[in-house]
Structure 1
Amino acid sequence: MLVNIHMKKNILLVDDDLDLSKSVVNYLSSEGFNVVFKSTAQQALQVLQDEHFDLIITDVVMPNLDGYDLIKLLRLDSSFSCIPIIFLTAKGMTHDRVKGYNLGCNAYLVKPFSPLELLSIVRNLLKNFDLMIKTNLVNQDFSYTKQQDFVLTRKELEVFQLVYQGLMNKEIAAKLQLSLRTVEKYVSRLFLKTNTKNRTQLVKFAAVNNFLKNRANDGIRTRE
């Protein structure tokens, strides 16, 4: 029997200002969020392929790919087209904000900013996004709307539950006392069985079908 899951939200912070980023990471972590920091858009795109994030906070002015480039790429990918994005930047002119909103950012916070205001925006966006998922308005282009009858091993189900909670592969490996490579194999199997391509889609699949919050065998057949 699986109990209701209280997910720890994962936030990706992208900024080349190391001092500011450290402060933001420490502050949001103290408020109960799991925050991953990357200093370039390229690094952000790479980690997004491997890990699930509920929200992205990104600077605009960065070397090579900037924040505008990053959001353009994310909004073109159906896996990330709905993820909330906050621009955190010194570019505060009206035309800068308009450009950000036109590209699909959800909030625009100009440096210097109040940590309390950032926290309020983060919580509000996550709350609204969760509501969208619950009402099945997110990812309407998914090939699935109802869960299919498929078989998961007990260990796959355990991994699935921890992925849904927002744990990274390394954290899952430590919690279940498995090697990182073994966890990666389990996650790959889950992608295959649920017809998903990445952790973001996998988590949304579970949220849309609402089965991990109920019985382990409610709609999912398990075997040892």
Structure 2
Amino acid sequence: MTYQNEKKILLIDDDIYLLNSIACYLRSEDFQVDIAENGYNGLQKIGFGQPDLIITDIMMPQLDGYDLIKEIRTNQISYKIPIILLTAKGMTSDRILGYNLGCNAYLTKPFYPQELIAIIKNIFNHIELSNKYKNNKSSLQLNTKTIKDSIFNTLTNREYKILTLVAKGYMNKEIANELKLSLRNVEKYVSRLLQKTHTRNRTELAKLALLTYFNIQKGE
């Protein structure tokens, strides 16, 4: 991946030496890094310009990492920002609390910098794949709707009514009774609908109608 230089990471820790060391290492990996020496300063920087990811210590004076996560996750603007907790608190209960509050990953001090990088890249890769899937799905839905609209715009009002009844599970005889048509005419209409919609049978025809919301009757 070559997205590092486009990603901004906010690093929050009251240990200045560790803060600068991690920041230096992240920059060497081509990430943009901003630093904050406490939770309040971190919140201010989030407000000025949202980072793509936040790495924060837990044990900080005044506003600790847990309270910081609460503030971030309850803010309408910042609630989606992924958060990694870096901490000397390695108890299971501490990790559970962090995950329950909404952190994306938990790394106990001391740690290998390579592991931190791997976690960061994994989070960004997951977000990228998720966005790609959503975009592809939206594009597919739009294209499908356009194709279906172009097909159904050619239907007559009578064909549309028959299609609606097919989608509701009506058989040809029931459709004939409902619309006061001969059974033979209904059969012709259904055959014509199969041709126009490029479906092979009544089941596919009904499914297509339901997918395009033809349970909402048109012109009735």
Which residue does the alignment assign to 1:86?
Answer: 84
8 Å CA contact 1:25–1:37 kept in 2: the answer is yes
Q: Given that residues 10 and 53 in structure 1 are in contact (C-alpha distance below 8 angstroms), is that contact kept between their aligned partners in structure 2?
A: yes
Tell me the residue number matched to 1:150.
none
Task: Report the equivalent of 1:64.
Answer: 62
1:142-200 deviation per Cα after TM superposition (whole angstroms, max 9, x unaligned): xxxxxxxxxxxxxxxxxxxxxxxxxxxxxxxxxxxxxxxxxxxxxxxxxxxxxxxxxxx
State the distance in 2 between where 1:99 and 1:6 align.
Answer: 30
User: In the alignment, residue 34 of structure 2 is paired with which amino acid?
Assistant: V
CA-CA distance at 1:96 after TM superposition: 0.3
Q: For residues 4-57 of structure 1, give each alpha carbon's deviation from its aligned partner in whole angstroms, at most 9, with x where no partner exists.
A: x98610000000011111110010000010000101111111111111310000
Q: For the residues of structure 2 that align with 1:7 and 1:77, how far apart are their CA atoms?
A: 26
CA distance in 1, matches of 2:17, 2:4: 31
Deviation at 1:77, TM superposition (A): 1.3
Counterpart selection for 1:20 from 8, 18, 21: 18
Q: Which amino acid aligns with 1:64?
A: Q
Residue 8 of structure 1 aligns with which residue?
6
Matches of 2:128 and 2:5, distance apart in 1: 11
Amino acid at match of 1:86: I
Q: Distance in 2 between matches of 1:38 and 1:98?
A: 25
Match of 1:131 in 2: 129
CA deviation profile, 1:66-101 (whole Å, cap 9, x unmatched): 000000011111212221100000000010000000
- What is the rounded CA distance, in whole Å, between the counterparts of 2:121 and 2:38 in structure 1? 24
Compare relative contact order (CA 8 Å, sep 6+) and give the higher one, 1 or 2.
1
Higher share of residues assigned helix: 2
* One-letter identity of the residue aligned with 2:44: Q
SS in 2 for 1:109: strand
Structure 1 CA distance, aligned partners of 2:4 and 2:108? Answer: 31
The runs of 5 or more residues in structure 2 that have no matched partner are 136-220
2:107 match: 109
Q: Does the 8 Å contact 2:4/2:31 carry over to 1? A: no
CA distance in 2, matches of 1:108, 1:38: 19
Q: Which whole-Å CA distance do the structure 2 matches of 1:34 and 1:28 have between them?
A: 8
Give yes or no for contact 2:4–2:30 (8 Å, CA) kept in 1: no
Q: Trace 1:121-200 onto structure 2 (pairs within 5 A).
A: 121-136=119-134
The runs of at least 4 consecutive aligned structure 1 residues that moved more than 3 Å come to 133-137
Partner of 2:32: 34
Partner of 1:98 in structure 2? 96
- Give the number of the structure whose alpha-carbon radius of gyration is greater: 2
Q: Does the residue aligned with 2:59 lie in a helix, a strand or coil? A: coil
Conserved 8 A contact 1:88-1:111: yes
TM-score (norm 2): 0.58
- Structure 2 contact 7–32 (Cα < 8 Å) conserved: yes
Q: Identity of aligned pairs, percent?
A: 50
The residue matched to 1:113 in structure 2 has which SS? coil
- Give the whole-Å Cα distance in 2 for the aligned partners of 1:135 and 1:98: 29
1:49 counterpart SS class:
helix
Aligned partners of 1:84 and 1:129 also within 8 Å: no
Residues 111 and 136 from structure 1, CA distance in 2 versus in 1: closer, same or farther, beyond 3 angstroms? same
Match of 2:180 in 1: none
Partner of 1:156: none
- AA paired with 1:23? S
